[in-house]
Amino acid sequence: MITVRKMLLEDVEGVMEVDRDSFSLPWSRESFILEVKSPISYYVVAEDETGKIIAYGGFYLIIDQVEITNIAVLSKKRGQGIGKSILEVLLKIALVGGGKLVNLEVRESNEAAKAMYYSYGFSLVGKRKGYYQLPSEDALLLSLVLEEGRFDD
Ligand SMILES: CC(C)(COP(=O)(O)OP(=O)(O)OC[C@H]1O[C@@H](n2cnc3c(N)ncnc32)[C@H](O)[C@@H]1OP(=O)(O)O)[C@@H](O)C(=O)NCCC(=O)NCCS
């Protein structure tokens, strides 16, 4: 069974493994420590039944503006709904925290991530030329208006 929970300092090593597996320019240990300690950031991890961290994601919230910084799943665990679980948990927490508009950047060629975000109602609102390196690529800016009651069953 997969559990999604708040990220703690002791999770940093496991999260860095997921990050290295997912991005050509992974974040430093210090960046993750700062994010875990930041009062405006919120990060979650997904762990398997053995306690191994297999995914993470997070956002920061300024007033009512949410910026999703990263969502990543270990490559061998992709395609099982874990990315969607992380995204949904983040959106629910952001809504409870007063978030009204969610923004994020995604590589133009990242079909899996784009499909995931579009399936949650994100829309394309802009493009940032040459935003990414290794390889150089434009970023698409996606946004979602978080509506009260969206996740009520
Ligand atoms: C993007 C990512 C987080 C998705 O995680 P995942 O666990 O594989 O995704 P899920 O299994 O939850 O699938 C979620 C949705 O994404 C889309 N998707 C997932 N894999 C896909 C693929 N290979 N091609 C196209 N769409 C795909 C689908 O819309 C899917 O929904 P559906 O199954 O209802 O059709 C994962 O591919 C990843 O970690 N990529 C590397 C890091 C990254 O690029 N992060 C995004 C940065 S903004």
The pLDDT tens digits for 8-67 are: 999 999 999 999 999 999 999 999 999 999 999 999 999 999 999 999 999 999 999 999
Domain contains 151 = no
- Closest Cα to atom 24 of ligand 1: 112
Domain contains 133 = yes
Q: Which of 18, 102, 116, 117 to mutate to test the pocket of ligand 1 (most atoms within 8 A of CB)?
A: 116
Please provide residue 63's backbone torsions phi and psi, each rounded to the nearest 5 degrees: 55, -105
Say yes or no to pLDDT of 153 above 80: no
Parent domain of 7 = 3-145
Domain contains 56 = yes
- CB-hemisphere CA count at 13 Å for 71? 26
The tens digit of pLDDT for each residue in 63-113 reads: 999 999 999 999 999 999 999 999 999 999 999 999 999 999 999 999 999
What integer pLDDT is reported at residue 70 of this predicted model? 97
pTM over the 0.95 mark: yes
What integer pLDDT is reported at residue 16 of this predicted model? 98
Q: What is the CATH number of the domain that holds 58?
A: 3.40.630.30
> Is the Cβ–Cβ distance between 99 and 77 less than 8 Å?
no
